[in-house]
């Protein structure tokens, strides 16, 4: 094992990128970008400079973060929110999310006929189309679900290159969804939806005490354990739905709602997750694939652009809340976790619960749409 593959070293570097992003985010330029984007950019830079492993030489630590920290972070964020915020924001976001899912599926089909990736990739193109349909509906869970079914992970560099392209496109879309609300707001004033008169979703100040920390660590691990056991008994129920439901139920109890620090811990874990997303944004894998890489990049990009145009257009006609539209689109393309980070960046904490819910919906829906795409093609 080389030094840069040492998990303690890599984890410390990921944490350092979060620290740097937190400081830079306080500057004038940093405030415009936000911690979420800065974490991804900083980690992508050091990964492409070979200072930490990237997609093609990923270490088990990355899988651990995806497998454990990402769902536990959602659980912690669930503990700090109020279900009453769904009453007004839930229906619009869910409707727009379903429209976005349809737009993603249609975008893949449109891109298939325009780019014709099957001419370069052969039969693998259908599987990749299914993987991209899944991941751009709900996130990487759906991407891997389709890949594992067809043993696509055994394709070596093609699998790594597809992951890299997926993360490059996802990262670029995070950037777009971060900046387009501010740009559109200059030309067309939005109708920011009032979810609540007071910010009921999360308390601004969380003074973490030892007792709360002890309980939160236990609850996070125990919720994951219970969710895993339930998934073994009922494998058709997505794991993320189970752990999120546990979080929702616990959040409604007085004891858990009085615990301090769940939001802070959850948000920190989200940023660690985003740091790995940045590490997976490997430019060299795309370049190494050459013609195949270019075809894949065009294929994925065109589908996402079509999705974005449809969501923004319909969203502008119906709701015209640019922040909400951006968060919904990000829930499709990047998944619920990045949608949560976007809600934080926009200071729309009342949209955290709806963002999580549509992300869960995407996890449940994406795999089915992914397999449907393989079947259709």
Residue with tokens 């009922």: 234
Where is average pLDDT lowest: 69-83, 163-177, 248-262? 69-83
> Nearest CA to 181 among 32, 337, 336, 362?
32
Closest by CA position to 51, among listed 5, 1, 7, 20: 5
pLDDT value at position 244? 78
pLDDT of 202: 43
In angstroms, rounded to a whole number, what is the distance separating the alpha carbons of residues 24 and 28?
A: 9
**pLDDT at position 214:** 94
Residue-wise DSSP of 264-325 = HHHHHHHHHHHHHHHHT--HHHHHHHTHHHHHHHHHHHHHHHHHHHHHHHHHHHHT--HHHH
Residue 87: pLDDT above 60? no
Q: What is the pLDDT of residue 224?
A: 94
Instruction: Give me the mean pLDDT over the 214-227 stretch.
Output: 94
Please state, in angstroms and rounded to a whole number, the distance separating the CA atoms of residues 155 and 161: 10
**Confidence (pLDDT) at 218:** 96
Average pLDDT, the chain: 81
User: Higher confidence at residue 148 or residue 52?
Assistant: 52
Q: Assign 198 a pLDDT band (cuts: 50, 70, 90).
A: very low
| Per-residue model confidence as pLDDT tens digits over 319-358 | 778 888 888 888 888 877 778 778 877 877 777 777 777 7
User: In the structure, what pLDDT confidence band is assigned to residue 222 with cuts at 50, 70 and 90?
Assistant: very high
The SS3 of residue 190 is coil
Chain segment 116-171, per-residue pLDDT in tens: 888 887 888 889 999 899 889 877 667 777 776 677 765 656 776 777 788 788 88
pLDDT at 304: 92
Q: What is the pLDDT of residues 5-20, one digit of tens each?
A: 899 999 999 999 999 9
Residue-level pLDDT at 201: 43
Q: How much is the pTM? A: 0.64
Residues 298-322: tens digit of each pLDDT: 899 999 999 989 988 888 887 778 8
- Give mean pLDDT, residues 284-308: 81
Taking residues 68-96, what's their average pLDDT?
Answer: 72
For 86, how many CA atoms within 13 A lie in the half-sphere containing its CB? 13
Task: Provide the pLDDT for residue 292.
Answer: 78
**How many Å apart are CA 34 and CA 260, to the nearest integer?**
24
Report residue 196's pLDDT band, with 50, 70 and 90 as the boundaries.
Answer: very low
């Amino acid at each position: 094992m080389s030094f840069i593959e040492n998990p303690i070293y890599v984890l410390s570097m990921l944490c350092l990128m979060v620290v740097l992003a937190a400081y830079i985010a306080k500057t004038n330029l940093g405030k415009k970008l936000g911690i979420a984007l800065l974490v991804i950019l900083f980690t992508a830079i050091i990964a492409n400079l070979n200072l930490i492993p990237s997609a093609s030489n990923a270490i088990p630590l990355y899988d651990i973060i995806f497998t454990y920290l990402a769902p536990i972070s959602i659980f912690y964020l669930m503990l700090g929110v109020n279900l009453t915020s769904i009453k007004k924001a839930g229906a619009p976001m869910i409707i727009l999310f379903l429209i976005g899912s349809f737009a993603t599926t249609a975008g893949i089909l449109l891109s298939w006929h325009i780019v014709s990736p099957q001419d370069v990739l052969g039969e693998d193109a259908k599987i990749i189309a299914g993987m991209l349909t899944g991941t751009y509906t709900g996130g990487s869970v759906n991407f891997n679900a389709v890949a594992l079914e067809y043993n696509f992970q055994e394709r070596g560099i093609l699998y790594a290159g597809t992951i890299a392209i997926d993360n490059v496109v996802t990262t670029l879309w995070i950037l777009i969804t971060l900046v387009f609300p501010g740009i559109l707001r200059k030309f067309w004033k939005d109708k920011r939806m009032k979810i609540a008169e007071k910010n009921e979703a999360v308390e601004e100040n969380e003074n973490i005490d030892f007792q709360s920390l002890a309980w939160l660590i236990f609850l996070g691990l125990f919720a994951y354990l219970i969710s895993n056991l339930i998934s073994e008994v009922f494998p058709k129920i997505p794991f993320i739905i189970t752990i999120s439901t546990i979080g929702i139920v616990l959040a409604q109890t007085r004891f858990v709602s009085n615990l301090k620090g769940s939001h802070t811990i959850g948000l920190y874990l989200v940023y660690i997750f985003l740091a790995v997303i940045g590490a997976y944004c490997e430019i060299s894998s795309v370049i190494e694939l050459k013609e195949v890489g270019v075809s894949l990049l065009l294929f994925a990009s065109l589908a996402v652009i079509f999705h974005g145009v449809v969501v923004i257009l319909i969203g502008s006609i119906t709701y015209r809340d640019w922040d909400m539209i951006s968060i919904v689109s990000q829930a499709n393309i990047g998944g619920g976790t990045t949608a949560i980070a976007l809600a934080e960046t926009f200071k729309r904490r009342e949209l955290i619960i709806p963002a999580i819910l549509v992300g869960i919906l995407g996890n449940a829906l994406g795999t089915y749409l992914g397999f449907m795409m393989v079947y259709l093609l």
